[in-house]
Amino acid sequence: MSSKVIVITGASAGIGAALARRLGAAGHAIVLAARREKELGEAARAAGERAAAVPCDVTKRSDVERLKARALETFGKVDVWVNNAGRGVTRSVLDLTDDDLDEMMSVNVKSALYGIQAIVPHFMERGEGHLLNVSSFLGRVPVAAVRSAYSAAKAALNSLTTNLRMDLARTYPNIHVTLVMPGIVLSDFAKNALHGTPGFTPPTAGPMAGQSVDACADAIASVIEHPAPELYTNPAQAELARSFYANPGAFQPPFAKP
């Protein structure tokens, strides 16, 4: 893959930091964005000499516009934009508050919308580009009831992503839009979820086995090199999703507790 300029949000840790390392090692120029300046700086240094750190709160449209501007000032263009920032919540549907739902929509949906609306006009001017929205397998299949509002927000992101793809496909065939759906990733995501997370050990095998951040990053790097509309970072989950949609009433989660 030829060298690209790639913006990654939520890049101070987890999937975002691993993806920055992976792409930086491959020779790409990386712009990392996140709120935590110290951790972001460390992630940028780990991503190599062509990595720039931009402290940014992606729930603020002005910050996302500033991120785009900094990327263009630093590297002159953006080839790939990865909306990766996100946060979970631990509450069942009946226990959700207004604040819970607002937080999930702000961090998981509006932040991505701001990224879309910031960068896609740049792609349209150039006639090419690649947008990736990092969603979740939970936006497709109900296997974790305590992640209800998070799953709902990711389902909304899924819909925005597919509608954007439809809008662009005919007029801008060289602008790619990819929906990325990780499953359980072995990161600090659960620890940082709103209201904490009950103790749970991911399975070691099967479609819901825990996946390392590096394996997840490798899968995303592959779809950047070979664009596709959708990516399950754990391929076994594609079959699980098909089984759910084939017969939702008969579907049973692959483990007893989320």
User: Would you tell me how many other CB atoms lie within 10 Å of the CB of residue 116?
Assistant: 19
Where does residue 160 rank: exposed (0-12), middle (13-18), buried (19+ CB within 10 A)?
middle
Cα–Cα dist 197/258, whole Å: 10
Are 11 and 33 in contact, with CB atoms under 8 Å apart? yes
- Tokens linked to 113: 């919308």
Cα–Cα dist 194/214, whole Å: 25
Active-site position among 114, 150, 232, 245? 150
Annotated catalytic residue 114? no
User: Would you tell me how many other CB atoms lie within 10 Å of the CB of residue 228?
Assistant: 11
- Tokens linked to 210: 């825990």
Cα–Cα dist 101/108, whole Å: 10
Catalytic positions, written as ranges = 150
